Structure 1
Amino acid sequence: MKPPPQPSAMDALHEAGIRMAEALQAGPPWLEQFWLFLTSHLDPNSIYTVCFPLARGLDDHVSVMVLWIALVAEWLNVVLKWFLFGERPYWWIHESGLSSREQLPLRQFPASCETGPGSPSGHCMILGAALWPIVTALTNEVSRCTRRRVLRLIPFLVYILLLVAMGLSRIFVLAHFPHQVVTGSLAGMALGWGLQRWPPNFLKYRFFLAAALGLLLSALALHGLATAAGLDLDWSIRRAGARCSDPSWLRPETRPWASLCRVGGSALGLALAARHPLSRRAAEELQGLEPPLGSAALGLLALDVLHKLPKSEDTALWYLNVGARYTLGPVLVCSLLPQLILTLRRLRGTP
């Protein structure tokens, strides 16, 4: 009689992650609601629709850096997921046979059924990268007010705690294993630090236009080359459909091509905003407005309305619709709404 096959190191790592998810799901109900709120409201989409417009309350440059770093991080995350072939806990427990060997008290949630591969975590990677310029700006503001080192470290400590909480929430909903959230967080921090050190010229619209085309075409080329080489990059979509406990939880927003529509649309939107910037006089007048949160709040409201509009059921039109919305977002926040604010203030006669 042959002995049972020994689990590989990766299987052992995955099973350890399942045990951690069990411990988290066994926690108190109030903590469960916190994990669900965090993973649902701080997804990659929120960087484009919430963090980007709110960052204008700090500085225009910071807000554009947030968007630029987010779209680069999301593109890189999609490419890494394609070629790392990471499993997700909610389907791995069935595919590995673990659920048939023992009774697992694990539950799925609407946020569980991500359709892309699992490694690295997009939530952690994109959040960690995009928040880096905000943390840097807040640290600089605190440093101007105090010389106490402990106080100057508060923004960075909050940032680390947020990444840890996000990682735990992703493990809780069975969307990721612990090693996937750790690698995603570290990659996001490194990317945010690196891209902030070498920012693009935000007044050169040709750069963002080339970035939009380059990111989309390179993704198409990589996908085509991988398919020609015999790699199945869409395996995770079929596996998600087979293992998700509720088909309505399979959201098209979690597919890799939806992420690429966000990336290409946002880069094109930055190009259009840079092509038609505010005049120097208007920019100086806008900088003199107090408080600066008015433009940020108006941008947040406009993007919320924009992304709540209904989408087409046709697949091709759905992707086109997503790309158009994310193209319009930077134009609204960076150009149209600031000009609207200035026009209204001039009409009211406010100096």
Structure 2
Amino acid sequence: MKPPPQPSAMDVLHEAGIHAAVALQAGPPWLEHFWLFLTSHLDPNAIYTVCFPLARGLDERVSVMVLWVALVAEWLNVVFKWFLFGERPYWWVHESGLSSREQLPLRQFPATCETGPGSPSGHCMILGAALWPIVTALSQGVSRYSQSRLLRLSPFLVYVLLLVAMGLSRIFVLAHFPHQVIAGSLAGMALGWGLQRRPPNFLRYRFFLGAALGLLLGATALHGLATAAGLDLDWSLLRASARCSDPSWLRPETRPWASLCRVSGSALGLALAALHPLSRRAAEELRGLEPPLGSAALGLLALDMLHKLPTSDRTALWYLNVGARYTLGPVLVGSLLPQLILSLRRLRATP
């Protein structure tokens, strides 16, 4: 009689992650609400619609850097997921047969049913990369008023704690294993640090236009080459559909191609915004407005209204709609709204 096959190292890692999720889901109800709030409200979409306009309260270049780092991180995350073939806990626990061997009190949530592969965590990678310019700017701002090293490092401490909490929330909802959130967090931190050291010329619209085309065409070429080589990069869609406990939780915005539309649309929006930049005098006038977060608040409101507009149910039109919204976002926040604020202020000041 042959002995049972020994589990692989990845199976052991996955099983340990499942038990970590069981422990997290057994926590108090108030902590459950916190995990669900965090994973739902700080998803990659929030970087484009919340963090980007809020960063204008710090500095225009910081806000553009946040968006640039975010879209590069999201593109790389999609490529990593395609070729790393990472499992997700909510389907692996069934596909591996672990759920039939053990009684596991696991629950799924509306944020659980991500449709793309699982490694590395996009929530952690994109958040870790995009927040790095904000944290650096805050730390530099603190250093102007205090020589305390602890105060200067406090923004980075909050940043690390936020990434840890985000990783735990992704494990809690069965969207990722622990090693996937660790990999995503480390990749995001490294990417944010590296890209900030070599910022692009924010006034060169040709750079962002080339980035928009290059990112979309590059991903399309990689997908086509992999398919021609016999690799099924869309394998996770079937598993997600089969193992999600509620079909309405399968959201199209979690698909890799939705991410690519978001990325290329945002890069195109940066190119269009760079076509009509604020003059130096207008930028100084805008920085003198009170309160300084006025344009950021208006940008938040405009992007919230933009992304609440109805969308088409047809697949092609839905993807086109996503690309158009994320193209318009940087134009609104970076060009149209600041010009509107300055025009209204000048009209008010005119006798």
Q: Compute the displacement of 1:279 (Å).
A: 2.6
TM-score, normalised by the number of residues in structure 1: 0.99
| Alpha-carbon distance in 1 for matches of 2:213, 2:143 | 40
| Alpha-carbon distance in 2 for matches of 1:258, 1:97 | 31
Residue of structure 2 in register with 1:137 after alignment = 137
Q: Compute the displacement of 1:334 (Å).
A: 0.4
| Alpha-carbon distance in 2 for matches of 1:110, 1:26 | 18
| Alpha-carbon distance in 2 for matches of 1:162, 1:102 | 33
| Alpha-carbon distance in 2 for matches of 1:350, 1:142 | 37
Q: Secondary structure at the match of 2:56?
A: helix
Change (3 A) 1:350 1:111: farther
| Alpha-carbon distance in 2 for matches of 1:184, 1:120 | 5
1:174 has 2:211 as partner: no
Residue of structure 2 in register with 1:151 after alignment = 151
| Alpha-carbon distance in 2 for matches of 1:276, 1:309 | 26
| Alpha-carbon distance in 1 for matches of 2:99, 2:281 | 65
| Alpha-carbon distance in 2 for matches of 1:202, 1:9 | 45
| Alpha-carbon distance in 2 for matches of 1:217, 1:150 | 45
| Alpha-carbon distance in 1 for matches of 2:139, 2:277 | 28
1:259 has 2:259 as partner: yes
Q: Compute the displacement of 1:215 (Å).
A: 0.4
1:16 has 2:19 as partner: no
Q: Secondary structure at the match of 1:248?
A: helix
**Structure 2: gaps of 5 or more residues:** none
Residue of structure 1 in register with 2:316 after alignment = 316
Residue of structure 2 in register with 1:342 after alignment = 342
TM-score, normalised by the number of residues in structure 2: 0.99
Give per-residue Cα distances to partners, 1:290-342, cap 9 Å, x unaligned. 32200000000000000011100000000000000000000000000000000
The 5-angstrom pairing of residues 158-307 of structure 1 reads 158-307=158-307
| Alpha-carbon distance in 2 for matches of 1:350, 1:98 | 73
Change (3 A) 1:350 1:199: farther
Aligned residues between the structures? 351
The percentage of counterpart residues that share the same residue type is 88
- One-letter identity of the residue aligned with 2:31: L
| Alpha-carbon distance in 1 for matches of 2:223, 2:78 | 11
Q: Secondary structure at the match of 1:57?
A: coil
Residue of structure 2 in register with 1:110 after alignment = 110
Give per-residue Cα distances to partners, 1:102-127, cap 9 Å, x unaligned. 11100000000000000000000000
Residue of structure 2 in register with 1:6 after alignment = 6
| Alpha-carbon distance in 1 for matches of 2:86, 2:113 | 14
Change (3 A) 1:350 1:296: farther
**Structure 1: gaps of 5 or more residues:** none
Q: Compute the displacement of 1:10 (Å).
A: 0.4
Q: Secondary structure at the match of 1:348?
A: helix
Give the superposed CA RMSD.
Answer: 0.9
Residue of structure 2 in register with 1:96 after alignment = 96
- One-letter identity of the residue aligned with 2:81: K
Q: Compute the displacement of 1:350 (Å).
A: 7.0
| Alpha-carbon distance in 1 for matches of 2:56, 2:301 | 13
Q: Compute the displacement of 1:2 (Å).
A: 1.8
- One-letter identity of the residue aligned with 1:195: L
Q: Secondary structure at the match of 2:167?
A: helix
**Deviating 4+ runs (over 6 angstroms):** none
- One-letter identity of the residue aligned with 1:36: L
Residue of structure 2 in register with 1:70 after alignment = 70
Give per-residue Cα distances to partners, 1:81-120, cap 9 Å, x unaligned. 0000000000000000000111110000000000000000
Report the more deviating stretch, 286-295 or 43-52.
Answer: 286-295
| Alpha-carbon distance in 1 for matches of 2:329, 2:279 | 20
- One-letter identity of the residue aligned with 1:144: R
Residue of structure 2 in register with 1:38 after alignment = 38
Q: Compute the displacement of 1:277 (Å).
A: 1.2
| Alpha-carbon distance in 1 for matches of 2:308, 2:162 | 26
| Alpha-carbon distance in 2 for matches of 1:78, 1:91 | 19
Change (3 A) 1:190 1:26: same
| Alpha-carbon distance in 2 for matches of 1:181, 1:54 | 25
| Alpha-carbon distance in 2 for matches of 1:313, 1:288 | 45
Give per-residue Cα distances to partners, 1:6-39, cap 9 Å, x unaligned. 1100000000000100000000000000000000
- One-letter identity of the residue aligned with 1:267: A
Q: Compute the displacement of 1:287 (Å).
A: 2.0
